Amino acid sequence: MTRSLLIAGPTASGKTALALQAAERFDGEIINADSMQIYEGLHLITARPDASETAQAPHHLFGRVDPAMRWSVGEWAEEALALVSDIRSRGKTPILVGGTGLYFMALTKGLAPVPEIDVASRQRVEDLIETEGLDGLRREAERFDPVSAQRIKAADSQRLQRVVEVGYATGEALSDFHKDTKPALQTNEWTGVVLNPDRAELYARIEARFDRMLEEGALQEVAAFAERELDPLLPAMKALGVPPLMAHLRGDMDLDEAIALSKRDSRRYAKRQLTWFRNQHSDWSRIDSLDSQTAWSQLEQILSDV
């Protein structure tokens, strides 16, 4: 296989297992496309591949960044593209896998040259969401960038937030930055698939996986992470499960409540991911099974038609 394989999907949908099967079949190397698995120090809570999984194929950009740093989409794309080039030069297959839609968009649709968003602008948007909710966020998006706002679905808070952050930080419309974007990977260089399982089954798997994380030591992992006393606005501090478990460790809530909130946040995040991939990658092939062997059979069929 000469094309790069892009495997996207919501949290807990089986991306790691599918990527490993693809790596074995196509002599591949796996590149992380998840914005939280980029950071070191939260191995369990971000569901990074474990030692037995990373032993099966070379893995790149997992735990690459210290959580005290804030890594941009552009920084990820630069390193990911260099890896793609290197892997292909050695006759192997690059397999990019993760749940961060912006990463895949940067590769396949182009990355707008948007300046880095400053902390004050991010906090201003957080405050807006806290006080005025989704309606207030949309009003601000329409004020800064009516073109982008019109294209964004009603409940797509992630994309609305991006529009407003850019507006606050630059005073300009995000759509203006997008005018000159070009894809980093050409259409004939990659094949993309989205894992799109039944939502109820996915939610059940999310909850079961979080229980396993705790059994394996996720609470202790978060406790060690909390000792660094990092800025709460840093991306790594917002990883799923981290804020509720830290609140529990501070004595602000009991463990059962922290677990319930973590599971709820994970379900909501998965829903947003599914919405993103439905809207932004509607032309990618779909894999609908949570069973790893069925998912692999579906992927083989997709690739045989390329």
Tell me the pLDDT tens digit for each residue of 186-243.
Answer: 889 999 999 999 999 999 999 999 999 999 999 999 999 999 999 988 999 999 999 9
This prediction has a pTM of 0.83
pLDDT of the residue at 286: 97
pLDDT of the residue at 118: 87
Q: Are residues 65 and 133 in the same domain?
A: no
pLDDT of the residue at 117: 87
Q: Are residues 68 and 191 in the same domain?
A: yes
Q: Are residues 45 and 82 in the same domain?
A: yes
Q: Is residue 274 part of a domain?
A: no
The total number of structural domains in the chain stands at 3
Per-residue buried b or exposed e for 198-230, using 16+ beta carbons within 10 Å of the residue's own CB: eeeebbebbbeebeebbeeebbebbeebeeeee
Q: Check pLDDT > 90 for residue 35.
A: yes
Q: Average pLDDT, stretch 41-59?
A: 96
Q: Is residue 25 part of a domain?
A: yes
Encoding tokens for residue 210?
A: 């979080």
Q: Average pLDDT, stretch 107-133?
A: 87
Q: Are residues 105 and 193 in the same domain?
A: yes
Q: Check pLDDT > 90 for residue 47.
A: yes
Q: Are residues 53 and 136 in the same domain?
A: no
Q: Is residue 41 part of a domain?
A: yes
Q: Average pLDDT, stretch 56-77?
A: 94
pLDDT of the residue at 180: 67
Indicate the burial class of 250 (C-beta count within 10 angstroms; 0-12, 13-18, 19 or more).
exposed
In angstroms, what CA-CA distances link 58 with 29, 61, 275, 293? 5, 10, 31, 22
Residues 6+ apart with CB under 8 A from 121: 165, 168, 169
Q: Which of 125, 256, 215 minimizes the C-alpha distance to 247? A: 256
Q: Check pLDDT > 70 for residue 306.
A: no
Neighbours of 297 (CB within 10 A): 13
Confidence of residue 174 (pLDDT cuts 50, 70, 90): confident
Identity (one letter) of the amino acid at 45?
I
Q: Are residues 174 and 150 in the same domain?
A: yes
Confidence of residue 116 (pLDDT cuts 50, 70, 90): confident
Q: Is residue 275 part of a domain?
A: no
Beta pairing partners, 31: 60, 96
